[in-house]
Structure 1
């Protein structure tokens, strides 16, 4: 037990406090009462320690499965790696910001750049902006640069004319397009012939584009939205589009939208990629509306 706790980096008192306070046994006992840890339990303790160091209260995470703890820890590691970038953005240092972004892109594939750099960076930028710790000007600066770099990434992934087609856009009134650009990049990387139509698109134009291009799926992104406004738009789009054309939504704006038959919402990038890969292979995707959620 002492060896395991040294490896994890916590004391016996801390371990006992966690077990006693939250009634969670974190170790095993032999028939003679001696405590020991399995490899999975040591890994779980390491993750609990990392998440605690990242600012999460033990009481809110101690019951989570290992996979969820690992995801929290990975997200924290990503933010640590992005600290120099965030510092440059706060200082409004456009040159340093651009240099650091280019360094990330130089060592990452386009898809990795989107997932490992752009997604966590823009999520943190959005959080800091909403809390008032980051200026609107700084948010606009990084958004403009990211927009251009994602366009470069898209150009590096040519369209396959034989692949199932997808179109990506945002509803009329939604001008935030980083999420839509990222979805286009990941869908194209997964094997779909994904075309980005841009932001702020009326429903009739989305329908016309989907029908004219013989799209298999329409992907919509929304950063800020209210369920009462999105529900009638989604219902109209679903009623207007031919039934074989799927509708996938992603982004925080859609997270509170009601369940609508024939529409799938994604909150996790990984699940969105899996669905795109399944469609690209020509397989029938599950019909679960909340099977995944992609921010």
Structure 2
């Protein structure tokens, strides 16, 4: 069964970085796009249009004139894009390449782009500069329904596999602080806390990882057993916005002896009052800063 996604011109702008006004000009002057229309005469674009515009954006960003791009066949354009992404180090180019892989659900190509970047700039920088911005872009479109959930799941699972392999490859050092990582009941978006686990272990600290959909009683049981100095969670969809303040207050009271770090769609940019032992993390880079502020981990002699 084929997966059909539809995009507005604003969606194309969000994913390609090309202004909607410019897209309309290119559409009229070079016949680059062929928008479809709904029964109520609203223009929309499909996966083929999005792939085309991502390829056009990548070539144009790398110095190709739009008139030359417009004269290329689909195959010529694809070959040029593959050559560029294999030698280019710019993050935007790599994000475009990953987006095309997502649309085509091309696991082999996605894996190649990721592996190449990991070899060139390392796992942590690949996550920080390419995967996170990419996931943020598709996250916005997933929230608005522009991207099919199957496409989002396809990508999330591939990234999740890479993270688990990277975490398993780390050696736990003696000393360091204990971090308890979990997602609340009903919360399944695991990429952020997996990467947090990678960063924490990479900085010489210990991770107790509970993962998705953690019942409150299980969280408390593990907390009593391990007595972590920090609890970290990411709240994307659950609990929902009307209950989030109540949830944070209860969390702060129940785990009053440790510092709690919270992040996610329901936290960032929301009008919330954070208890004294709760700190909001707006970007994953903030976790790196927090980790450097924690007292240095004793090193083996």
Q: Is the 8 A contact 1:111 1:189 kept in 2?
A: no
Is 2:93 the partner of 1:116? Answer: no
Counterpart residue number, 1:101: 114
SS at match of 2:146: coil
Q: Is the 8 A contact 1:238 1:247 kept in 2?
A: yes
Is 2:296 the partner of 1:278? Answer: no
Q: How does 1:1-295 map to 2 (within 5 A)?
A: 55=19, 78-225=91-238, 226-241=240-255, 243-255=256-268, 256=270, 258-261=272-275, 262-281=277-296
SS at match of 2:266: helix
Q: Is the 8 A contact 1:250 1:266 kept in 2?
A: yes
Poorly superposed stretches of 4+, deviation over 4 Å: 53-56
Alpha-carbon distance between aligned partners in 1 of 2:295 and 2:186, rounded to the nearest angstrom: 30
Matched positions, count: 210
Provide TM-score, normalisation by structure 1: 0.65
Alpha-carbon distance between aligned partners in 1 of 2:213 and 2:198, rounded to the nearest angstrom: 19
CA distances 1:11-66 after superposition (whole Å, capped 9, x unpaired): xxxxxxxxxxxxxxxxxxxxxxxxxxxxxxxxxxxxxxxxxx8659xxxxxxxxxx
Q: Is the 8 A contact 2:179 2:205 kept in 1?
A: yes
Q: Is the 8 A contact 1:250 1:267 kept in 2?
A: yes
Q: Is the 8 A contact 1:207 1:237 kept in 2?
A: no
Provide TM-score, normalisation by structure 2: 0.64
Alpha-carbon distance between aligned partners in 1 of 2:284 and 2:192, rounded to the nearest angstrom: 10
More deviation in 103-112 or 160-169?
A: 103-112
SS at match of 2:219: helix
CA gap of 1:280–1:257, structure 2 versus 1, over 3 A, is farther
Alpha-carbon distance between aligned partners in 2 of 1:214 and 1:93, rounded to the nearest angstrom: 44
Alpha-carbon distance between aligned partners in 2 of 1:81 and 1:98, rounded to the nearest angstrom: 12
Shift of 1:251: 1.5
Alpha-carbon distance between aligned partners in 1 of 2:207 and 2:220, rounded to the nearest angstrom: 15
CA distances 1:181-208 after superposition (whole Å, capped 9, x unpaired): 1111122223321232111112222222
Alpha-carbon distance between aligned partners in 1 of 2:248 and 2:119, rounded to the nearest angstrom: 39
SS at match of 1:200: strand
Shift of 1:246: 0.6
Larger relative contact order, structure 1 or 2 (CA cutoff 8 Å, min sep 6): 2
Alpha-carbon distance between aligned partners in 2 of 1:237 and 1:105, rounded to the nearest angstrom: 37
CA distances 1:48-92 after superposition (whole Å, capped 9, x unpaired): xxxxx8659xxxxxxxxxxxxxxxxxxxx6333311111011112
Alpha-carbon distance between aligned partners in 2 of 1:181 and 1:54, rounded to the nearest angstrom: 32
Q: Is the 8 A contact 2:185 2:216 kept in 1?
A: yes
Gaps of 5+ in 1: 1-52, 57-76, 283-295
RMSD: 2.3
SS at match of 1:175: coil
Alpha-carbon distance between aligned partners in 2 of 1:257 and 1:281, rounded to the nearest angstrom: 34
Q: Is the 8 A contact 1:222 1:251 kept in 2?
A: yes
CA distances 1:90-121 after superposition (whole Å, capped 9, x unpaired): 11212211222222222233322321232112
Q: Is the 8 A contact 1:79 1:120 kept in 2?
A: no
